[in-house]
């Protein structure tokens, strides 16, 4: 890779910083995550941390080839957290806590969240593909709050978001819905019977040599009792505050683990079969796998190979994996519309 080409990509990022304010407040003074929802006393459920400036890190062949900005600060990550939930689901499968991702989730539930006729047939795959059509209220948020959400039209999916619609059978509609992802997180907590941050730390982040600065913040009301112990259920994003707060360097280690098929220094932290499963296109949305974005048809990143895939979060936060070029790139706080321009410049710097 050429130093000149990488410098051009970094300069481009710095010139195309997200328009989000650093305190995450909109022009009206509301937290950006709920700015598309009617004002309510409990609209923000978790803590919020101001963001840092544009920063990023690029790995090729596992080596750092470029780094800029403060890559050590643990910033809010938004929906990149969903891809970490997918890794935890793979751990649950490997440990036999989930027998098959096509099994109904109700078989593992410790509550009545899947007892209704609408929810009984929901499988783990439906939850992981965002096709569950789960109906209910979780942590004070009804599933309908994210009905008709279109993440393709804005950072947080405004458009007709929140307009209720008739529900369909599970597995027949793809919809980006944070309430349902939070239901997945609660279900994983119930099968592990341990807080998910503890499982992630011990099984993944510590073996990767990650820092101790990252946090996975729950909502103030997302606590449950399991086996007589009070535990937090963490969200799969920062839509209503909280979520995964992590540095760029720690995201890069996680991204490299996925890029290497779950293998790290001779250890299998995640199975190759599960990493391959993450990348299987959802029939209802071929640009989505199991809580990972795919570049099917080169629609997510037109300048990149179709084999690329990514963990993406509003803001924009991006962990991009490019198997064809042996690249992992983590980019924080770039304007969403400028992501592909950045990717193009990075790939233009590749010489062989």
Identify the three-state secondary structure at position 247. coil
Among 194, 191, 192, 152, smallest CA distance to 175 is for: 152
Q: What structural domains does the chain harbor?
A: 29-284 (3.40.710.10)
Say which residue the tokens 């250890």 belong to.
Answer: 267
DSSP H/E element including 321: strand 317-322
Contact 113, 119 (CB under 8 A): yes
Cα angle 144-80-131, degrees, rounded to a multiple of 5: 40
> Is the model's pLDDT at 154 over the cut of 70?
no
Among 25, 245, 33, 243, smallest CA distance to 145 is for: 33
Q: What is the dihedral of CA 186, 191, 195, 199, to 10 degrees?
A: -130
What are the CB-based long-range contacts (under 8 Å, 24+) for 292-298? 292/83, 292/86
Q: Choose the weakest-confidence range: 29-38, 113-122, 193-202, 213-222.
A: 29-38
Say which residue the tokens 């929906």 belong to.
Answer: 79
DSSP H/E element including 249: helix 248-259
> Is the model's pLDDT at 158 over the cut of 60?
no
Q: Choose the weakest-confidence range: 66-75, 152-161, 248-257.
A: 152-161
> Is the model's pLDDT at 65 over the cut of 80?
yes
Q: What is the dihedral of CA 65, 209, 246, 89, to 10 degrees?
A: 110
Q: Choose the weakest-confidence range: 144-153, 201-210, 292-301.
A: 144-153
Percent of the chain with pLDDT over 90: 93
Contact 85, 181 (CB under 8 A): yes
* pLDDT confidence bin for 152, thresholds 50/70/90: low
Report the chain's C-alpha Rg in angstroms: 19
Find the length of the chain.
352
> Is the model's pLDDT at 221 over the cut of 70?
yes
> Is the model's pLDDT at 214 over the cut of 90?
yes
217/56 Cα distance (integer angstroms): 23
Q: Round the average pLDDT of the chain to a whole number and report it.
A: 96
Q: Compute the average pLDDT of residues 197-204.
A: 98
Q: What is the dihedral of CA 192, 80, 234, 283, to 10 degrees?
A: -60
Contact 105, 187 (CB under 8 A): yes
Identify the three-state secondary structure at position 107. helix
Identify the three-state secondary structure at position 189. helix
> Is the model's pLDDT at 28 over the cut of 70?
yes
CA dihedral over 12, 51, 248, 46, signed as positive or negative: negative
> Is the model's pLDDT at 294 over the cut of 80?
yes
Instruction: Give the β-pairing of 229-232 and 63-68.
Output: unpaired
Question: What is the model's pLDDT at position 253?
Answer: 98
259/276 Cα distance (integer angstroms): 10
């Amino acid at each position: 890779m050429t130093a000149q080409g990488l410098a051009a990509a970094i300069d481009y990022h710095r010139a195309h910083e997200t328009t989000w304010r650093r305190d995450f407040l909109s022009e009206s003074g509301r937290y950006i995550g709920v700015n598309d929802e009617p004002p309510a006393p409990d609209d923000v459920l978790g803590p919020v941390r101001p963001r840092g400036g544009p920063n990023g890190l690029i790995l090729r062949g596992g080596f750092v080839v470029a780094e800029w900005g403060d890559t050590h600060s643990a910033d809010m990550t938004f929906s990149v957290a969903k891809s970490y939930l997918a890794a935890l689901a793979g751990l649950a499968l490997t440990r036999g806590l989930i027998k098959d991702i096509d099994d109904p989730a109700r078989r593992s539930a410790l509550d009545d969240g899947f007892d209704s006729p609408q929810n009984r047939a929901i499988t783990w795959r439906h939850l992981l593909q965002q096709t569950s059509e789960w109906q209910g209220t979780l942590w004070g948020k009804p599933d309908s709050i994210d009905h008709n959400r279109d993440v393709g039209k804005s950072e947080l999916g405004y458009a007709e978001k929140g307009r209720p619609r008739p529900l369909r059978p599970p597995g027949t509609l793809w919809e980006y819905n944070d309430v349902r992802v939070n239901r997945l997180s609660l279900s994983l907590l119930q099968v592990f019977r341990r807080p998910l941050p503890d499982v992630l730390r011990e099984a993944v982040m510590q073996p990767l040599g990650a820092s101790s600065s990252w946090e996975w913040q729950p909502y103030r009301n997302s606590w449950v009792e399991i086996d007589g112990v009070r535990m937090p259920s963490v969200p799969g994003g920062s839509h209503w505050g909280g979520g995964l707060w992590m540095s760029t360097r720690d995201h890069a280690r996680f991204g490299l683990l996925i890029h290497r098929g779950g293998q790290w220094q001779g250890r299998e932290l995640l199975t190759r079969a599960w990493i391959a499963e993450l990348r299987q296109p959802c029939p209802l949305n071929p640009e989505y796998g199991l809580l990972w974005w795919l570049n099917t048809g080169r629609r997510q990143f037109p300048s990149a190979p179709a084999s690329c895939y990514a963990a993406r979060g509003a803001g924009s936060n991006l962990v991009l994996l490019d198997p064809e070029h042996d690249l992992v790139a983590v980019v924080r706080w770039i304007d969403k519309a400028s992501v592909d321009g950045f990717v193009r410049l990075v790939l233009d710097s590749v010489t062989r």
